[in-house]
A and B are shown apart, each in its own frame.
Chain A
Amino acid sequence: MSILITPQTKILVQGITGAFGAKHAQLSLDYGTQLVAGVTPGKGGQFFEHAGHKVPIFNSVHEAAAITGATVSVIFVPPPFAGDAILECVDAGLDLAVCITEGIPIKDMVRVKRAITGKKTRLIGPNCPGLVTPGTGDRSNGGCRIGIAPGYIHRKGHVGVVSRSGTLTYEAVFQITSKGLGQSTSVGIGGDPVNGTSHLDVIKLFNEDPDTKGIILIGEIGGSAEVEAARWIKANCTKPVAGFIAGATAPAGRRMGHAGAIVGGAEDTAAAKIAVFQECGIEVAATPTDMADALLRAAAKKGVSLA
């Protein structure tokens, strides 16, 4: 199994006719993902064609979901319109909305978060790479690739990966695959200060997933989400967990590329988060290159096989 999505999950793409959305829709189709619809207001009735695929485009998420049975949307629309795109998914009652868009005003996300509280739809992102549940084919083909992660670095297996940062997710995934292991699902929750799904939300899902045998938790300076997840792991999670925190050398008070990576105060440093990880029994990776090895050490300590 996997979390959130399976190779059978049907997805739609909001913003499929933009250059960025189109490129990644093509890559997902190549990966074998059940990409069944596109949504671009005003372009309903047209088709998105790629390598023998003919994906219908609809004017609204409601219409696309009703006709194709898509339950998940991936959002590539520009920042000024992205909040609205998320709300449309929620209104259409989708299971999951994955927002890739980077640069959404914080106020828009504050409003969206308020509006979707208590609703059925789960939001992942924004400013995230999306998620991948690898398939069984060559280089994990046949899996469900939602977003912008490279599919081919995955391999079907039993490690769950959760991270704010896209590229660090790929590092972890690649290391796991290079060791002959694989992933149940890799999830990038995004680097923005206001996002839909937290580290802890994903950790809980991995903990419940019988097919996930070990977890890599990747965090950054900024906020307290990693600390919250670590404390929960200490109390509730029996699976081996490895952790990495980026930003040990980031100067205080400076924004490092995305809004999530800003150092707030004394409690909010990489060193403080790493100390909490250690205290909570999480095996800490000393460098990003050490992430898969750290998980193997954690698994060995618990006598768990990740294969």
Chain B
Amino acid sequence: MNIHEYQAKTLFEKYGVPVPKGAAAKTAEEFATALASLPEGPTMVKSQIHAGGRGKGTFIDGYKGGVKFCKTKADAFEIAGKMLGNTLVTIQTGPAGRKVQTVYFTVASDIKKEYYLAVLLDRASSRPVIVASTEGGVEIEKVAHETPEKITKVLIDPAYGVADFQLRQLIAALELTGNEAKNAAKLIKNLYTMFWETDAAMVEVNPLITTPTGDVLALDAKVSFDSNALYRHPEIVALRDLNEEDPKEIEASKYDLAYIALDGNIACLVNGAGLAMSTMDIIKHYGGNPANFLDVGGGASKEKVIAAFKIILGDANVKGIFVNIFGGIMDCNVIAEGIVEAVKEVGLKLPLVVRLEGNNVAKGKETLANSGLALVSGDTMADAAQKMVKLVA
């Protein structure tokens, strides 16, 4: 689960990670109050959406830049009015862009130098890793590719947390000394504590900055959380912004279905993430285009299958439906009954190809055959995928 920058920075402050003073506003009426809480002088206005590349983004009305420097608070007030309610397109949002529903005002800090800092999971070692670089404010992927020696990774032992010698390693890698070193060490330690205590999946600060007065501040904040651990963090669940999520994905999550919308026209209903991914792959392999990823998971009830069908059909691009089930946990007959009921309930007019295999498959196939539905059966994934692609062509 992702949160906005302004929410992340509130968490940062709570954990003792210094950030520039800021205030968020959700309506134009709130601009004045938000700005009143900041000192006079240079102010940043930042569009709050769950996507990167905001600064270089363009609004659909042609206005350029989702993050702006303003010399005065009065300018900031005016610029915020251009952003709020407008739709921002960045390299990460796709062409449809994302509507800006919150703007964030912050004091514009004097920057001495920019750095990069992140905490995330290192899969190879199964440990948290702190990543630091002297190259901040730029795309870290580019740094990793072109000058990997400028990135330092320190693995953290989960039993002990960040050790002092590791902080010294990181500070040395960032080439900091004196007060800056002391402040950065404290910041890194606190950032790790936040990562660990909140069950974060990733905490990224790009850039982390030093100021001419020796302060070290998190100028930006990107934080995501492990969705498996949300049950023990109601305070974080409260930060979820449904405006940032696809309505179909929200509906799917109510039924515990893993759904991700894509831009093709063949809808997929599959059990198991690996099989769901390779169902998309095989559609593409035979020249089709998947409309979604949908994993109904194990132990899917009839209600789940019906919900899945409704979500799939909510996508206007869909021209055909491909059901691919290999039942290990799942009883194929439950799926079959779900399909029959769902098709009857939604009055399906699109071509439907079903490939069933596994647990209780004979009964499942019988249920489908006796349903009177105009569906096409596939024996293997390849067979079914080819039939599906032909039907929507």
Residues on A lying within 8 angstroms of B by beta carbon are 20, 79-80, 102-111, 113-115, 129, 148-150, 153, 163-168, 170-171, 174, 191, 193-194, 218, 220-225, 244, 246-251, 253-261, 265-266, 270, 286-290
Contact = CB atoms under 8 A, between A and B. Distances in A.
Contact of B277 (A102, A109, A149, A247): A247
A220 B382 CA distance: 19
A148 B330 CA distance: 10
A256 B271 contact: no
B180 interface: no
Contacts of A109: 126
Contacts of A103: 228
A193 B123 contact: yes
B42 to A, nearest CB: 33
B278 A265 contact: no
A150 B275 CA distance: 16
Interface of B: 92, 121, 123-124, 126-128, 141, 144-145, 157-159, 196, 199, 201, 226, 228-229, 231-232, 258, 260, 262, 270-278, 280-285, 290, 293, 295, 297-299, 326-329, 357-359, 380-383, 385
A202 B224 CA distance: 32
A289 B379 CA distance: 10
Given A110-B128, A248-B284, A256-B293, A287 B381 contact: yes
A172 B144 CA distance: 37
Contacts of B281: 246-249, 270, 287-288
Contact of A80 (B231, B258, B326): B231
Contacts of B284: 248-249
A80 B277 CA distance: 28
Contact of A257 (B128, B201, B258): B258
B272 A106 contact: no
B326 A171 contact: yes
A222 B128 CA distance: 17
Given A114-B158, A256-B258, A168 B123 contact: no
B278 A168 contact: yes
Interface centre among B157, B295, B326 (most CB of A within 10 A): B326
B274 A265 contact: no
Given A148-B298, A170-B328, A287-B381, A246 B121 contact: no
Given A80-B231, A150-B327, A256-B260, A106 B280 contact: no
A225 B380 CA distance: 28
B226 A287 contact: no
Contacts of A80: 231-232
